[in-house]
Structure 1
Amino acid sequence: MNSEKSTQLLSPTDHFSVLLSSTLRGARLARLLATDWMRTRDLPYGVAEAAEHLVAELAANAATHGRVPGRDFRLALQATTAVLRIEVTDTRGDRLPCPQPQPPSVDAESGRGLLVVEALADRWGVMQGPVPRKTVWAELALASDRPGM
């Protein structure tokens, strides 16, 4: 067996999608599956590390704030030669995240997830529909001239 590390080139678009239970266990599985998927694509380390945190935050939000009993959430990852896009879709289209997240009070136990998304993503946003769904997405540039790399 050849011990050299093989480099997998990204196709024009490389896509992964999975439905997961709207539970904290489902959110954890989303992060693990995304980490494994990214590892097999040889994404730049800084991008993969940021993407793991983004998936963890977006999936945790879907499992807590976007949870509807008996309905799953969807994790989708799409990589092109220039961008990694992360999408998490849940069935609570009536509960949209604030586009300009504000820091919570110092003693608050939650409320920092979207601040993490804002800090790590090059771009992020929300798409509504089809009813009753919403998709929260985040993008990371794959170029080597990405800030912080």
Structure 2
Amino acid sequence: MRFSSTGRGARLARRLAVQQFTEWTGLPYDADPARAVALVTAELASNAVRHGSLPGRDFRLTLHLLPDRFRVEVTDSRPERLPPPVTARPADETSGRGLLLVEAYADDWGSTVRDAYTKTVWAEVLLPTTGA
């Protein structure tokens, strides 16, 4: 689904991702994996708006339910702006910690450039296993 590269678009993307996650998995909104999906989607969408947008270009949210994980992909229009390496930040800095949160809450994440016009930043959250 496409969203406007605005704060409202990022909020809608987060809400859609959690809604779809709960529908597909049957887990409640307040389950830890749902919270992780909300957080990583919010950060990836916010980064797409802040660092990956060009005037008049939207970002795209793609969701995948895999056998053991839920994958969130956010595609924006700035392939030359790859996410920087994640490093600890001093406590007095007020921005730049979003990818630290993604690193902490996602079980895996990364970025892919497939063409000269877009990049996709993705994160995966493992699904709880059911004991037999």
TM-score by length of 1: 0.80
What letter matches 1:89 in structure 2?
T
Aligned match for 2:27, one of 40, 43, 47: 43
What letter matches 1:95 in structure 2?
R
**1:97-134: CA deviations, max 9, x gaps?**
02x31123332221000000000111110001211210
SS class of match (1:94) = coil
Q: Distance in 1 between matches of 2:70 and 2:27?
A: 9
In the alignment, structure 1 residue 138 sits paired with structure 2 residue 123: yes
Aligned match for 2:110, one of 125, 129, 133: 125
Larger radius of gyration: 1
Q: Distance in 2 between matches of 1:38 and 1:138?
A: 14
Q: For residue 115 of structure 1, what is the aligned residue in structure 2?
A: 100
Give RMSD over aligned pairs.
Answer: 1.5
Kindly report structure 1 stretches of 4+ aligned residues shifted beyond 3 Å.
Answer: none
Q: Distance in 1 between matches of 2:99 and 2:76?
A: 16
Unmatched 5+ stretches in structure 1: 1-17
Checking the alignment, whether the CA contact within 8 Å between 1:104 and 1:110 is kept in structure 2 is no
Q: Distance in 1 between matches of 2:63 and 2:13?
A: 11
Share of identical aligned residues, percent? Answer: 49
SS class of match (1:126) = strand
Checking the alignment, whether the CA contact within 8 Å between 1:103 and 1:111 is kept in structure 2 is no
TM-score by length of 2: 0.89
Q: 1:28 deviation in Å?
A: 0.6
Q: Distance in 1 between matches of 2:27 and 2:115?
A: 31
Q: Distance in 2 between matches of 1:123 and 1:43?
A: 20
Unmatched 5+ stretches in structure 2: none
State the aligned residue count: 127
Aligned match for 2:78, one of 68, 85, 92: 92
In the alignment, structure 1 residue 29 sits paired with structure 2 residue 12: yes
SS class of match (2:125) = strand
Q: 1:39 deviation in Å?
A: 2.2
